[in-house]
Amino acid sequence: MPKEVTDVICPFCGTLCDDLCITVSDDNKTILGVKNACAIGSEKFNHQRLPGRVKRPRMRQADGTYKEVSYDEAVDWTAKMLVKSRKTLMYGWASTSCQAMSIGHEIAEKVGGIVDNCATVCHGSSLIAIEDVGVPSCTLGEIKNRADRVIFWGCNPAHAHPRHMSRYSIFPRGFFTVKGHKGRKIYCVDCRYTDTAKCADEFIQIQQGYDYELLNAFRTAARGGDLPDAVGGVPKEKIYEIVDDLKTARFGIIFFGMGLTHTMGRNHNIDIAICLTRDMNDFTKFSIMAMRGHWNVTGSGQVLGWQYGFPYAVDLSRRDQARHQTGETTSVDLLNRNEVEACFYIATDPGAHFPVDAMVSSARKPTVCIDPHINCTTEISDLHIPVAMVGVETGGCAYRMDNVPIETRKVVEPPEGMLTDEELLTKINKRVDELLVKGGA
């Protein structure tokens, strides 16, 4: 008899929906159906049963083909690589559990690794801005229960966080928002007419690259200052009108995404968006939140935070000190400067997201990739170690985009003999210890 597992957490995006129902075969091995998830989330669960999954570690041969090796051999090879390399890039972590990260950090401290997560090519600029000016924010439930003005700026949840709008930001009826969508005014600021813009009451088409200027104009308008006729393609009358409307909000929220973090100005865009939010708190209540991408990239920042005091790009290569300096200890810069001697990728796919030059540099170094699936990074790695899918085949803690932690659930058994991230990293950690006692590889 197939059975239903309820309250399942979706390990795909930072929305971290926790209301999925998964139908599982009687033997706990196969997922038969997924309810409540978005199209992407469903696909993540359905992936589990697709044929052709790599079930044992694969080592690249001289001729470029792969040879299957045992987990023990893979652990030994990885540990030796880590111990030999004086500076290893240990990048990824955004799709694994906080418990696994913790073990990874212990290894990094011993071998002198640099631990970085995909904020480095994503919301890293937001984190820099927060390090500069702080951030007034809230949990997603606050938005559902209180928000009557919602601004999506340079983000497109309709595609990237598909259930965000129905669970938290546009449609839900909350305690003080009984009218749901009708009681909220939705703004979308973007240079393109996105599917999110279609859901908005007002779409503000901004000239590409003028986010800083427009945000600055909003701040100026809020303080009653003069504006030129148009800013970033938006007429000044419109700017005054919007700001006046925002001031009458009971509770406002700005959501922002890559449209702000990766256009001209980068961290300065976020900086001024936060300052605008802060200014609005002189008139009413306002919050701002980053639309974090990977489902547990936030968790990586948290664990690094409580263990070393920095949210990403943590350089432990001195072994007696943790350092964090954007541009110096960030992955892409390290690779571009050829500063690391080996690469250890886990639970994220830099091959798909890093600039080409960085990956060309990476491909020349000994590389291990730990990931349940074949991806762009496994294709340039010397060793691919498949693991159980966290949130599907094993549990573990994850942090939502508003930093709320949720323990994910194990829904089905992993393929027989397959290790989880935690088990694999524990083995590597142990092997590193043995090698260090012997005095190196």
Partner 1 sequence: MSEYIIKNGHVFDPVQGIKGDKKDIAVKDGKIVDKVGSSAKVIDAKGKTIMAGALDIHAHVAGPKVNAGRWYRPEDKHFDSHKVPGITRIEGGKSIPTVFKTGYAYARMGFTFAMEAAMPPLYARHVHEEIHDTPIIDEGALPVFGNNWFVMEYLKNQEIENSAAYVAWILRQTKGYGIKVVNPGGTEAWAWGLNCLSIHDNVPYFDITPAEIITGLMKTNEYLGLPHSMHIHQNNLGNPGNYTVTLDTLRLAEGVKANNNFGRDQIMHSTHLQFHSYKGTNWGDFESGAKEVMDYVNKQKNITVDTGNVTLDETTTMTADGPFEHHLHGLNHLKWFNVDVELETAAGVVPYIYDPNIRVCATQWAIGLELALYAKDPMRCFITTDHPNAGPFTRYPRVYAWLMSKKYRDERLNTFKHADKVISATNLSGMDREISLYELAQMTRAGPAKALGLSKDYGGLKVGMNADIAIYNIDPDNFPSAGAEIEKAFGNVAYLFKDGKICVENGKVVDMGNKHTFWVDAKVKENKQVMHDIREKFLKYYSVNENNYPVPESYAPHQHIINVDAA
CA atoms lying within 13 Å on the CB side of residue 315: 17
| C-alpha separations of 152 from 134, 186, 252, 258 in Å | 20, 8, 11, 11
The 3-class SS string of 378-412 reads HHHCCEEECCCCECCCECEEEECCCCCEEEECCCC
| Nearer to partner 1 among residue 25 and residue 284 (C-beta) | 284
What is the closest distance, in whole angstroms, from the C-beta atom of residue 414 to partner 1 in the complex? 18
User: Beta-carbon neighbour count of residue 81 at 10 Å?
Assistant: 23
Which of 287, 275, 302, 337 has its CA nearest to residue 89? 337
| Nearer to partner 1 among residue 130 and residue 370 (C-beta) | 130
Q: How far apart are CA 131 and CA 310, in angstroms?
A: 10
What is the closest distance, in whole angstroms, from the C-beta atom of residue 404 to partner 1 in the complex? 6
Which of 179, 186, 181, 176 has its CA nearest to residue 141? 176
What is the closest distance, in whole angstroms, from the C-beta atom of residue 123 to partner 1 in the complex? 13
| Nearer to partner 1 among residue 54 and residue 390 (C-beta) | 390
Residue 213 φ then ψ, to 5°: -65, -40
| Nearer to partner 1 among residue 80 and residue 247 (C-beta) | 247
Which of 408, 137, 80, 128 has its CA nearest to residue 267? 128
User: Is 256:154 a contact under the CB 8 Å cutoff?
Assistant: yes
| Nearer to partner 1 among residue 130 and residue 214 (C-beta) | 130
What is the closest distance, in whole angstroms, from the C-beta atom of residue 24 to partner 1 in the complex? 17
Q: How far apart are CA 241 and CA 229, in angstroms?
A: 14
What is the closest distance, in whole angstroms, from the C-beta atom of residue 233 to partner 1 in the complex? 31
What is the closest distance, in whole angstroms, from the C-beta atom of residue 353 to partner 1 in the complex? 23
| Nearer to partner 1 among residue 98 and residue 186 (C-beta) | 98
What is the closest distance, in whole angstroms, from the C-beta atom of residue 196 to partner 1 in the complex? 20
| Nearer to partner 1 among residue 371 and residue 402 (C-beta) | 402
Binding residues vs partner 1 (CB under 8 A): 6-7, 9, 18-19, 98, 102, 106, 109, 127, 130-142, 144-146, 167-168, 174-176, 250-251, 278, 281, 284-285, 287, 301-311, 316, 319-324, 397, 399, 402-407
